[in-house]
Structure 1
């Protein structure tokens, strides 16, 4: 082995020790989360409703029903997930935390409610994002581990790279008929090679979701530095000095109606009522239900209903469009079911790499302790 590859091996091994457990947890939870919608749809009947063909009830009606059931509720988010899906309201109950309330979007009848932290897939998501630690701590542990993992993938690729043409076949295939140690070695090297490009995409998209500097770097790169990030993404504020002049109809209703009128083909709508005194009401109109990569948004003054800002999809910069694709890229759904399967398999391979890598290291360590076998020449027969 060349001195350069020895350095790469040292880095590969010790970076693996540092990040291995976190990479395993993040990868396994990523596998589960890829199909969380499909699994929950199969398990829970409240996640689907019959499409009656009638108009959706107004957001204010959903809010009123939630407030009847939870008088302390401050509905921060309202979701219209699609024609055959329930509406959802994420209600802030103050010291009691949040309540996620599902309602029939045609009748405003409450069909189910739960504390988000009791949902298995929310727990999986928080384990994936924060390792169930306080977000300020867990986010950085996961982020640093993912960056280290990207370095490991690069060093692994350098170590894997075949020296001779004759080695190439062996480098691309797993020798299933070999001894278990050889199979484990091939699982680590060969599967690691095949997963590298997808793993890099998943890692970068995940970092972009969690860290603004990463999403900003992607934004600037895609826009070639020609468009100011803050100008395009900064949300406007309501005029809190004009609180006395409230609109006759609840602004949340007019905002929702405007978004539906402007984007009639949208399948999903997300309404955010910023609870701060100068916060605006934002409405996102999404092209496809449960997909977040193709959206047009509007911001309204919550006191008088004035349209403050529009984010028309066709007018967005390439950088903003790319950043809005991050979630769909991260879970693979950007290309539908095949993408989810690819993301699932890549995550599963990533979870296996710390395990197979540790087994390789442990086997070499035991071999080194035993020392080389000494062969004694047989005595010739007299």
Structure 2
């Protein structure tokens, strides 16, 4: 028999599950698909890899000129340019005149255009958009997805309360799936046993996702990890003084940024250079220790006119809280632990996607449970004398 407390928790778990189940199913399933997106794209998109050469890589202005040649009217200063390492193609990202997000992949040594992608029709871009926004407007999706995942976090806690065995003899069955039982029992075990094993990793995936949706949650966590507010020296806070005249850079702005980033972060594999679309905001640049990994990061801010380095925040100067913030994406997709971590994140996401399905089957089965017919003996006992 369940205690009144567990009955109340069970009701809460049920109704929260019915309210958020579809959201959790879609977000978890698309998350599982997206986990191996870089690995799958490396196999299906040959233009992502290039032969390593001994010559120096071309400057951003050269790559941008090649990428923008078929798109007259797009300024190089509005592009995002990324170098991914010695054996990977570089990319130039921009929005064309029709409003389409375009990513051009180029050989960083020769400047040859290898492929142009309209990201509106790219499979993993669509998967990511569904995962993050459910194809809803961003302002609406923030509360729909964020609300659904917040409910899921509460469900993880209530699920563990319901799972916790009351007696010692029940513990063994709570850790194993009784495969030889009837399908309803197997479904029940799949929901409870797999849910228990996946709970801790699922909580990490859910919270790191919420940190992206609600920055205040990440800021609060960083505050706790730091034991106080983040040191001002660990934040890029450069502001452009538009009242002060600045001489224009003697070379293309992105080239200047690239050279300075290469000089100060010589071991970085990946370099991302942001646009210089206004004269009011700095040009930002980020360098990463390992391609396609976002934890080890140096940060830069440059003057949008002169190209002068305004602020430099190296990875080595960051405290515990800021380092945790930097690793949030790598934690979310599991790659903080390498390929094995991705496998764990993938399997956990699949289990999470199954939870609303198996839970709904349990609820539906109980709701439509057929009553056993009474035996003659039972009928005779109940008959009036």
Please give the TM-score of this superposition, normalised by the length of structure 2. 0.94
Tell me how far 1:242 sits from its aligned partner: 5.2
Tell me how far 1:210 sits from its aligned partner: 2.0
1:275 aligns with 2:258: no
CA distance in 2, matches of 1:153, 1:90: 39
Summarize deviations over 1:297-320 as a string: whole Å, max 9, x none. 111102112111111101012111
Query: Cα distance, 1:95 vs. partner?
Result: 4.2
- The equivalent residue for 2:187 is 184
Structure 2 counterpart SS, 1:285: strand
Report the Cα offset of residue 282 of structure 1. 1.5
Q: Secondary structure at the match of 2:102?
A: strand
Task: Decide whether aligned partners of structure 1 residues 244 and 92 sit closer, same or farther in structure 2, where only a CA change above 3 A counts.
Answer: farther
Number of the residue aligned with 1:6: 7
Query: SS at 1:154's partner residue?
Result: helix
Q: Report the 3-state secondary structure (helix = DSSP H, G, I; strand = E; otherwise coil) of the residue aligned with 1:117.
A: coil
Return the offset for 1:73: 2.1
Deviations 1:124-182 (A, max 9, x none): 00000000111111122011100000101110100000011111100001111111111
SS at match of 2:298: strand
Measure how far apart 1:44 and its partner are: 1.1
SS at match of 2:18: helix
Query: How far does residue 244 in structure 1 lie from its aligned partner after superposition?
Result: 5.9
Larger mean CA deviation between 14-23 and 255-264 belongs to 255-264
Q: Retained in 1: the 8 A contact 2:279–2:304?
A: no
1:97 corresponds, among 95, 100, 118, to 100
- Can you give the 5+ residue segments of structure 1 that lack an aligned partner in the other structure? none
Q: Matches of residues 221-300 of structure 1 in structure 2 within 5 Å?
A: 221-227=224-230, 232-241=234-243, 245-300=247-302
Residue among 293, 309, 330 paired with 1:328: 330
Q: Distance in 2 between matches of 1:239 and 1:110?
A: 38
What TM-score comes out, normalization by structure 1 length? 0.95
Moved more, 327-336 or 52-61: 52-61
Rounded to whole Å, the distance in 2 between the matches of 1:170 and 1:260 is: 58
SS at 2:69 equivalent: helix
Maintained 8 Å contact 1:292/1:324: yes
Q: CA deviation at 1:241?
A: 4.2
Unaligned stretches of 5+ residues in structure 2: 380-385
Residue aligning to 1:212: 215
How far apart in 2 are the matches of 1:284 and 1:378?
77
Question: What is the distance in 2 between the residues matched to 1:249 and 1:243?
Answer: 18
Q: Distance in 1 between matches of 2:276 and 2:192?
A: 49
* Contact persistence 2:236–2:312 (CA under 8 A): no
The farther-off stretch of 86-95 and 333-342 is 86-95
Cα distance in 2, alignment partners of residues 231 and 83 from structure 1: 32
Q: Which residue of 2 aligns with 1:158?
A: 161
CA distance in structure 1 between the aligned counterparts of 2:8 and 2:373, rounded to whole angstroms: 28
Aligned equivalent of 1:173, options 176, 193, 198:
176
Taking the aligned partners of 1:251 and 1:76, their CA distance within structure 2 comes to 12
Q: Indicate conservation of the 8 Å contact 1:16/1:152, yes or no.
A: yes
Distance 1:249 1:358, change over 3 A: same
The 1:181–1:30 alpha-carbon spacing in structure 2 relative to 1, beyond 3 Å, is same
- Corresponding residue of 2:45: 44
3-state DSSP of counterpart to 1:91? strand
Contact kept, 8 Å, 1:239 with 1:303, in 2: the verdict is: no
State whether residues 236 and 313 of structure 2, in contact with CA within 8 Å, keep that contact through their aligned partners in structure 1.
no
Aligned partners of 1:329 and 1:266: how far apart in 2?
Answer: 20
For 1:79-109, what per-residue CA distance to the aligned partner results, in whole angstroms no more than 9, with x for missing partners?
Answer: 1011111111111224433211111101111
Out of 273-282 and 214-223, give the one that drifted further: 273-282
Larger mean Cα displacement after TM superposition, 315-324 or 17-26: 315-324
